[in-house]
Structure 1
Amino acid sequence: MRTVRNPNVLTAMKELAWFAGIATCIKLLLIPSYRSTDFEVHRNWLALTHSLPLSQWYSDETSPWTLDYPPLFAFFERFLSIFANLVDPKIVNLHEGLNYSADTVIYFQRISVIVSDLCLFYGVYRLSRNLDSAKRRMIWILIVWSPALIIVDHVHFQYNGFLLGFLLISLSCLEEGKDLMGGVVFAVLLCFKHLFAVAAPVYFVYLLRHYCRGGFFRGFGRFLMMGAAVGMVFLMAFGPFLYYGQIEQVIRRLFPFGRGLCHAYWAPNFWVFYIILDKGLAFLLAKLGINIQAPAASFTGGLVGNSSPFAVLPQVTPLITFMMVLLAMFPCLVKAWREPRPGMITRWVAYAYTCGFFFGWHVHEKASLHFLIPLAIVAVHNLEDVRHYFLLSIVSCYSLFPLLFEAKDYPIKVLLLLLHSLVMWLGFSAHFSKIASVKAVKPRQRRDKMGSGGSAAAKEGGLIVGWVGKRYLLGLLVVEIWGQFLHPYLLGDRLPFLPLMLVSVYCALGIMYSWIWQLGWIIRCP
């Protein structure tokens, strides 16, 4: 349970503004940095929603970057296009603006992401405003200064901070007992980006047991009220496309299962091990003289699209991954059903997103933000959570490094991760050393039980990871040295995707540890 205080609201807002101001300065400095294809994707969506009637938004194929986000995000792009047209009409020119890269479009889109982060700041504020100042500041460091979020949104380019803000607002409402509002905000989030639906089972079970309680008639009435409110959100978002007969096309765009099990760069999840096992078995069978029909292309080919079939192991379908996600999530759903506690909802939702990332279909490496950001809320309350989060945040951020593959961006991503790791280490060590010191000043009976007592507690409080965690993090350094220096020197242009594979496999071990750790915590938690 989180410590409830009544901090001065004005003071808390001023402190958050200071953290947000520093983050904004860093984001402004990154405006000229590398831009992925997602930058052109969103520019095309600005042009598409500005130039075409609503009935053609999800059927237009003027460029390869077709609209595949839910309607509310399309309306959000339409809203931004109004200002884009004022800044530079070429930004929203559908036919002549392909790959448009003038300074006007770069500054406009970069600043639009920075401004939209106000939603994230508000969500962080809501979830931390009742905490003591030390915990509140640590949460702001973990989220507002998150290097993973900066890399994905403000270098690579996306709007994850804006969307995660809705998630945090929803969770804050549930923690405050405002279940109806929390459910509605989550429905709004799903209409912005459907991939957040992984946590929908947790929301459903929790709201059914917590909001719809109080006897049959009262509970059924609340169930209808929640259903009507959520249904109204979806009707407002999808209704216009239902009216134009485009709903089937919208659904087809939102769920393109033909893209295959894995993304071009493997997200560090369970399927990395499955692919490696398949390739290893195929290699061994070939050495034994057993004829194996190899896939037409390699999973490490770096191409976006439908991945090749497996050579030895059974094929994996979207239904299989869906069932595995639900099975992994089952202990969490049982806990939410038996004892729906508001203080646990953030942890349960984070665990659900971890399950979706680890076992899901066509998972993008950027989806690690879905569990990394909520876990920051629960990471400041005990030393065990701190140790887990410290390792997880470093692994998750490092797994994003291949997104920024240009040499000029290498110092940026390394510096962001190292600085953030140092700030986390110092902040957590100081905070828990102080707690340990307070615990050391106890009655004589407590000191007798502790033996050398205070110093041991202070030492324990100052630690962030154990010896296993330290050695694992050192392994990240080995993987990076190999990929950046030894591989080019020893192998040259041979096996060009081996460094990517090593990053995926090694980071998958860290994500697997996090999933097992969270599962164990949920099972043993009373």
Structure 2
Amino acid sequence: MAVPVAESWTWFPALALGVSLLKCLFISSYHSTDFEVHRNWLAITHSLPVSRWYYENTSEWTLDYPPLFAWFEFGLSHVAQHFDRNMLVVENLNYASPSTVLFQRLSVVFTDLVFIFAARECCRCVQEQKGSRDILNRPSFILAVLLLWNFGLLIVDHIHFQYNGFLFGFLLLSVAKHLQACHLQGALLFSILLNLKHIYLYVAPAYGIYLLRSYCFTQDNKDGSVRWRSFSPLRLLALGSIVVSVCALSFGPFIVMGQLPQVLSRLFPFKRGLCHAYWAPNIWALYNVLDKGLVLLGVRLKLLEEAELPRATMTGGLVQEFQHSVLPSVSPSVTLVCTLLSILPAVVSIWRRPRGARGFLRCLLLCALGSFMFGWHVHEKAVLIAILPLSILAVESREDAGIFLVLTTTGHYSLFPLLFTPAELPIKVTLMLMFTVYSFTALRKLHSSQGPLLRPLEVVYLLGLVTVGIACEVIFPMSPWQQRLPFLPLLATSVYCSAGVCYSFLRLYVSLLRWDEEKPKQT
């Protein structure tokens, strides 16, 4: 028997309030250079005319997000002036008064209301189990916890410092609208998101192909093929109008001022190098360590002269270009080709055999992970683009739940080096343990009738993270290697977690192929 809406959602505000109060406890904790980045952007957008926003370079942390996010910072700055006007002075580099810290921390908590609303909409879209009276074991409740209390978002936004929750709110709300068959609303939300942060270009192919195939083609033939007579130019015009309007609103003023090349040069700084200072756990981390291994082997076998090799810079903690020593060096164009090839089967799948909004969601996940795996200068935090939407599928399918547990555990652990101060060690360990234990127990109970979620080798691999964690967080800081090889823990963490992310990517592809074969066509 269906539970009345008023009764079934009384628990959601409590979950949301609880996590919001927890976020407030982190106000005085460590914050990264991203805190200064956003303070500087507040100052730029408040103190300078629009024409100078993308030229200002007093700080090394120049404005490099799309214009809509700059306007977002502009709006925040008008509230910030009531806390401390000095934070809005461009020349006040590394300014972090108590009032400034309080404002910026609270601004992240407050804008997370978008994420909270989006999480509720996603929870309304999941398929509830028939006859379930236990609220704690309902897919909607479990999904709410997995989203609202996500470990990665908590430490990245509310300790490290960023506005990912606000942005992910738009992504999840867009996904929810597609699950509810509100395609134009979903397209509008995603267009706004792209103009807030361009990293979401990772999943743009999934949106483009899905909307073209499932919205612009109004009906399918019995054989599932595409026929142009079912094509709706009016629907394509509606979609195009939404995208063009949002982009015009965002970039229009800078186009009028003749600053579009300057804005784009800030958004896509290809000179930053293949990998971030701290390697993201992707294919290039494995490629880099293979190159280093071949160098050591070549020197030991006297096949290479150590003096003639380029100086190693890939783990030097700097963002810069570098050349591989043995393997071919990778250019931005190579990463683009690899990324497109990695997502091609997924987008072809939803074009040839559309499977409704959940087929789109699977394609979105593969586009997110494919871009994370093969992209240029990928940040480790980008793994959350796949982890959060995968939560929706994890509460509906045992197969997806197993993939979720592997990807989430490795992806979240790969974020550990972001919080490197001793004071935050017990916080990040406790929070991850709580989230991981809940994920395993709740999903296992939810899918208990369908068999185990993980395979034996997957369990062994995940348990290996405990060894890596003890070695990197406890043993290494007390060893003499800390002075000689300070970035060794970063390398070990990235490489070990890369294996789990790569494995999850492959399993998601296998899951997509099986799902294509077994599931009936959805509308």
Residue number among 223, 233, 237 corresponding to 1:224 in the alignment: 237
| Superposition map of 1:29-48 within 5 A | 29-48=25-44
Confirm or deny that 1:384 pairs with 2:388.
no
Residue number among 499, 510, 522 corresponding to 1:520 in the alignment: 510
Partners of 2:139 and 2:261 in 1: CA distance: 47
Residue 129 of structure 1 aligns to a residue in which SS? helix
Partners of 1:210 and 1:517 in 2: CA distance: 25
How much does 1:314 deviate?
1.1
Partners of 2:320 and 2:209 in 1: CA distance: 35
| Superposition map of 1:246-325 within 5 A | 246-292=259-305, 293-306=308-321, 308-325=322-339
Asked whether the equivalents of residues 414 and 494 of structure 2 are also in contact (C-alpha less than 8 Å), the reply is yes
Q: In the alignment, what sits opposite 1:375?
A: 390
Residue number among 210, 235, 241 corresponding to 1:206 in the alignment: 210
How much does 1:22 deviate?
1.1
Residue number among 101, 104, 108 corresponding to 2:99 in the alignment: 104
Residue number among 466, 469, 473 corresponding to 2:458 in the alignment: 469
RMSD: 1.6
Asked whether the equivalents of residues 269 and 511 of structure 1 are also in contact (C-alpha less than 8 Å), the reply is yes
Percent of pairs with identical residues: 42
Q: Which amino acid aligns with 2:513?
A: I
How much does 1:339 deviate?
2.3
Confirm or deny that 1:418 pairs with 2:433.
yes
| Superposition map of 1:162-241 within 5 A | 162-214=166-218, 216=229, 219-241=232-254
Q: In the alignment, what sits opposite 1:62?
A: 58
Residue 320 of structure 1 aligns to a residue in which SS? helix
Q: Which amino acid aligns with 2:348?
A: V
Q: Which amino acid aligns with 1:387?
A: G
Select between 249-258 and 170-179 the one with higher mean Cα deviation. 170-179
Distance 1:128 1:309, change over 3 A: same
Asked whether the equivalents of residues 7 and 129 of structure 1 are also in contact (C-alpha less than 8 Å), the reply is no
Partners of 2:366 and 2:81 in 1: CA distance: 42
Q: Which amino acid aligns with 1:516?
A: L
Q: In the alignment, what sits opposite 2:497?
A: 507
Confirm or deny that 1:118 pairs with 2:131.
no
Q: Which amino acid aligns with 2:497?
A: C
1:265-302 Cα distance to aligned partner (Å, 9 max, x none) = 00000001111111122222222333453223421111
Asked whether the equivalents of residues 9 and 129 of structure 1 are also in contact (C-alpha less than 8 Å), the reply is no
Asked whether the equivalents of residues 343 and 367 of structure 2 are also in contact (C-alpha less than 8 Å), the reply is yes
Partners of 1:182 and 1:356 in 2: CA distance: 21
Partners of 1:501 and 1:187 in 2: CA distance: 36
Partners of 1:6 and 1:210 in 2: CA distance: 30
Q: In the alignment, what sits opposite 1:451?
A: none
Residue 428 of structure 1 aligns to a residue in which SS? helix
How much does 1:104 deviate?
0.5
Q: TM-score, normalised by structure 1?
A: 0.91
Q: In the alignment, what sits opposite 1:93?
A: 89
Asked whether the equivalents of residues 295 and 304 of structure 2 are also in contact (C-alpha less than 8 Å), the reply is no
Partners of 1:474 and 1:357 in 2: CA distance: 24
1:466-524 Cα distance to aligned partner (Å, 9 max, x none) = 32122112211111111123324443422221111110100001101100100111122
Asked whether the equivalents of residues 12 and 129 of structure 1 are also in contact (C-alpha less than 8 Å), the reply is no
Distance 1:499 1:110, change over 3 A: same
Q: In the alignment, what sits opposite 1:482?
A: 471
Distance 1:322 1:253, change over 3 A: same
1:166-208 Cα distance to aligned partner (Å, 9 max, x none) = 0111111111222122112111100000010111111111111
Q: In the alignment, what sits opposite 2:257?
A: 244
Asked whether the equivalents of residues 36 and 94 of structure 2 are also in contact (C-alpha less than 8 Å), the reply is yes
Residue 484 of structure 2 aligns to a residue in which SS? coil
Residue 11 of structure 2 aligns to a residue in which SS? helix
Residue 232 of structure 2 aligns to a residue in which SS? helix
Q: In the alignment, what sits opposite 1:329?
A: 343
1:372-412 Cα distance to aligned partner (Å, 9 max, x none) = 00000111112222122122211111100000000000000
Asked whether the equivalents of residues 7 and 130 of structure 1 are also in contact (C-alpha less than 8 Å), the reply is no
Q: In the alignment, what sits opposite 1:52?
A: 48
| Superposition map of 1:373-452 within 5 A | 373-433=388-448, 436=449
1:90-134 Cα distance to aligned partner (Å, 9 max, x none) = 121112x32111111111000100111111111111122144360
Partners of 1:244 and 1:11 in 2: CA distance: 54
Unmatched tracts of structure 2, length 5 or more: 129-134, 219-227, 517-523
Q: Which amino acid aligns with 1:379?
A: A
Select between 379-388 and 367-376 the one with higher mean Cα deviation. 379-388
Residue 388 of structure 2 aligns to a residue in which SS? helix
How much does 1:7 deviate?
5.6
Residue 203 of structure 2 aligns to a residue in which SS? helix
Select between 345-354 and 154-163 the one with higher mean Cα deviation. 345-354
Unmatched tracts of structure 1, length 5 or more: 437-456
